[in-house]
Amino acid sequence: MGLNHGYSAISVKSMNQYQAMLQLLISSGYQISGYEDNGCTATSKIKFIKQLNQ
């Protein structure tokens, strides 16, 4: 089974105001998969996903 323990992907959400976290996720191979509108850009969330190698 390996290190993935049967998981095929990791999903993460980050608030738009945390630029360092957004940069970390993108530089670590996460892709944007969606957007959660909470009324203003600072509190809205960006959804990320990273496919794990099988």
Per-residue confidence band for 32, with pLDDT thresholds at 50, 70 and 90 = very high
Q: Is there a contact between 14 and 48 (Cβ–Cβ < 8 Å)?
A: yes
pTM for this entry = 0.82
Give the pLDDT confidence of 13-25 residue by residue, as tens digits.
999 889 999 999 9
The Cα 19–Cα 40 span in angstroms is 16
